[in-house]
């Protein structure tokens, strides 16, 4: 048997979390609300209803494009993608065709670059709910008109794992940019894979697999298609260009329809919306997960901790601690990954507990217990925090800490500078982590001075 090279391109749809829908003022809340409660003539596609563009959706897409170093169009237009389906009352989807908002972007994962062909913006359709007996279907239009960003990669992946890793990284990125929670189980992020196999340097006939609803399924569906296509070719058959559905319970792909080409959609410019000019200033500095990981490598954190620290929101804490000691930062990273309760704390609380633990030599269990107690005492914390949200006068708390921690204060004054952070941690603990940390530093410097 010749060796077959797998090639995969991904198409990922992500729902943007704007306040309102993309072409009308209805709330963008398709999940928690009563069916058909967030709808209007635009959502229903009633004759004469006119779309009005939501700038926030465009800004979010441009933000993503700039973060991924893509080429952002200076000007773009909308296109009608025509097809019939009961969840699409207009009979067309407003999307983008020849001039997407973003082209030629890329995603770096652990030093490896993956190319993105285009990122465009479009509207989501409604949702069909089929009755258990298969005799009737209901439609909910709350999702109709939710802004949807579509990310299309180059045929850039040669293993199922690489394709899965890309989807996971994309989820991290949109979460970092705060444009979508991208939960796959809620359908806020939906993956499709274009899969082919070949024994030459020419790409084989591609098969599109839809309805992949988890990261695990991305890997399984691609693996299944790879095996299926090789078996078909080895048996003397041909691969036909088609769309297949991933049946997760059965663990296989099932033929849906022979593949439509873009000509079948009869794209034409949307006459009810003007062209869009993109402002220069959208975007700004955002640290992507890859950049955070590179920073942790630089600090010298062990390889196996790097992904968990970034994924579990420990990055800021570790970097802050590294400013005074790399060893302590590595220790902090280990603790953050080992104690899941840390994930519920904000950066300041994390530092407080790490400082307490380091200073007292407490075991991880003791720290975890302490954190648990803190979380269950949330009510009390809220009361205390109210006080510290509205005051910058920390003189009595700082004075108490100086009195209680006489030895640490003496050591600090004798030149053990890192103890300053410990004292900050003590004051923060007194205020349940709610005081402004620079105000604490200022007051401590003043009283220790
Ligand atoms: Zn509406
Ligand atoms: Mn699409």
pLDDT, one tens digit per residue, over 26-41 is: 999 988 789 999 999 9
324-333 per-position pLDDT tens digit: 778 878 888 8
Q: Which ligand is nearest to the CA of 25?
A: 1
pLDDT at 362: 55
Beta-carbon contacts of residue 121 (< 8 Å; ≥ 6 apart): 22, 57, 58, 61, 95, 96, 101, 147, 148, 149, 150
235-287 per-position pLDDT tens digit: 999 999 999 999 999 999 999 887 667 678 889 999 999 998 888 777 777 88
Residue 169: other Cβ atoms inside 10 A: 18
Beta-carbon contacts of residue 73 (< 8 Å; ≥ 6 apart): 99, 100, 101, 102, 103, 278
Q: In degrees rounded to 5, what are phi and psi of residue 214?
A: -155, 160
Q: Which residues pair with 8 in a beta bridge?
A: 157, 195
Token digits of residue 39: 């709808």
Alpha-carbon distance of 258 to 27, in angstroms, equals 36
Say how many Å lie between the CA of residue 259 and the centre of ligand 2: 15
pLDDT at 253: 96
Looking at every residue in the chain, the average pLDDT score rounds to: 88
Conformational region of residue 122, where left means phi above 0, alpha means psi within -120 to 50, and beta covers everything else:
beta
188-231 per-position pLDDT tens digit: 999 999 999 999 989 999 999 999 999 999 999 999 999 999 99
Say how many Å lie between the CA of residue 406 and the centre of ligand 2: 64
- Res 382 pLDDT > 80: no
CA angle 215, 216, 219 (to 5 degrees): 95
pLDDT (average), residues 173-185? 94
pLDDT (average), residues 358-370? 59
Say how many Å lie between the CA of residue 60 and the centre of ligand 2: 17
pLDDT at 320: 82
Say how many Å lie between the CA of residue 4 and the centre of ligand 2: 30
Predicted TM-score of the model (pTM):
0.77
Q: Which ligand is nearest to the CA of 93?
A: 2
Residue 344 pLDDT grade (very low, low, confident, very high; cuts 50, 70, 90): low
The bridge status of strand 127-130 relative to strand 137-140 is antiparallel
Closest CA to 40 of 74, 56, 443, 48: 48
Beta-carbon contacts of residue 119 (< 8 Å; ≥ 6 apart): 61, 64, 65, 68, 70, 100, 101, 102, 103, 105, 149, 150, 151, 152
| % the chain with pLDDT above 90 | 61
> Quick one: how many helices (H) and strands (E) in the chain?
15, 16
């Amino acid at each position: 048997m010749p060796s077959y090279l797998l090639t995969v391109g991904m198409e990922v749809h992500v729902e943007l979390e704007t306040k309102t829908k993309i072409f009308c003022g209805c709330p963008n809340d398709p999940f928690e609300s009563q069916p058909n409660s967030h709808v209007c003539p635009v959502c229903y596609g009633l004759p004469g209803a006119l779309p009005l563009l939501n700038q926030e959706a465009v800004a979010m897409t441009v933000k993503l494009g700039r973060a991924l170093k893509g080429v952002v169009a200076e000007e773009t237009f909308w296109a009608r993608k025509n097809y019939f389906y009961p969840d699409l009352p207009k009979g067309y989807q407003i999307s983008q065709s020849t001039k997407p908002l973003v082209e030629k972007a890329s995603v770096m994962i652990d030093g490896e670059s993956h190319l993105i062909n285009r990122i465009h913006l479009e509207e989501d359709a409604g949702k069909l709910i089929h009755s258990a007996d298969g005799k009737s279907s209901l439609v909910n239009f709350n999702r109709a008109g939710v802004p949807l960003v579509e990310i299309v990669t180059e045929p850039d992946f040669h293993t199922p794992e690489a394709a899965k890793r890309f989807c996971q990284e994309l989820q991290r990125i949109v979460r970092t940019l705060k444009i979508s929670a991208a939960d796959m189980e809620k359908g806020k992020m939906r993956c499709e894979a274009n899969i082919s196999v070949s024994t030459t340097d020419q790409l084989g006939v591609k098969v599109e697999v839809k309805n992949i609803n988890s990261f695990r399924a991305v890997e399984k569906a691609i693996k299944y298609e790879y095996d299926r296509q090789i078996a078909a070719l080895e048996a003397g058959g041909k691969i036909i260009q088609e769309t297949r559905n991933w049946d997760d319970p059965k663990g296989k792909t099932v033929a849906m329809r022979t593949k439509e080409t873009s000509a079948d959609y009869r794209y034409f410019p949307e006459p009810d919306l003007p062209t869009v000019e993109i402002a220069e200033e959208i975007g700004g500095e955002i640290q992507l997960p890859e950049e955070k990981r590179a920073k942790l490598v630089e600090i010298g954190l062990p390889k196996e901790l790097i992904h968990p620290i970034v994924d579990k929101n420990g990055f800021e804490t570790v970097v802050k601690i590294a400013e005074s000691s790399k060893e302590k930062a590595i220790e902090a990273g280990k603790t953050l990954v080992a104690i899941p309760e840390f994930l519920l704390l904000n950066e300041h609380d994390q530092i407080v507990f790490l400082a307490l633990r380091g200073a007292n030599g407490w075991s991880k269990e003791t720290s975890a217990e302490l954190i648990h107690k803190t979380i269950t005492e949330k009510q009390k914390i809220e009361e205390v925090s109210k006080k510290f949200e509205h005051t910058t006068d920390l003189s009595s708390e700082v004075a108490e800490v100086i009195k209680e921690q006489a030895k640490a204060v003496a050591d600090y004054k004798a030149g053990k500078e890192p103890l300053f952070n410990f004292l900050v941690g003590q004051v923060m603990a007194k205020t349940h982590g709610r005081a402004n940390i620079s105000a604490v530093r200022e007051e401590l410097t003043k009283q220790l001075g």
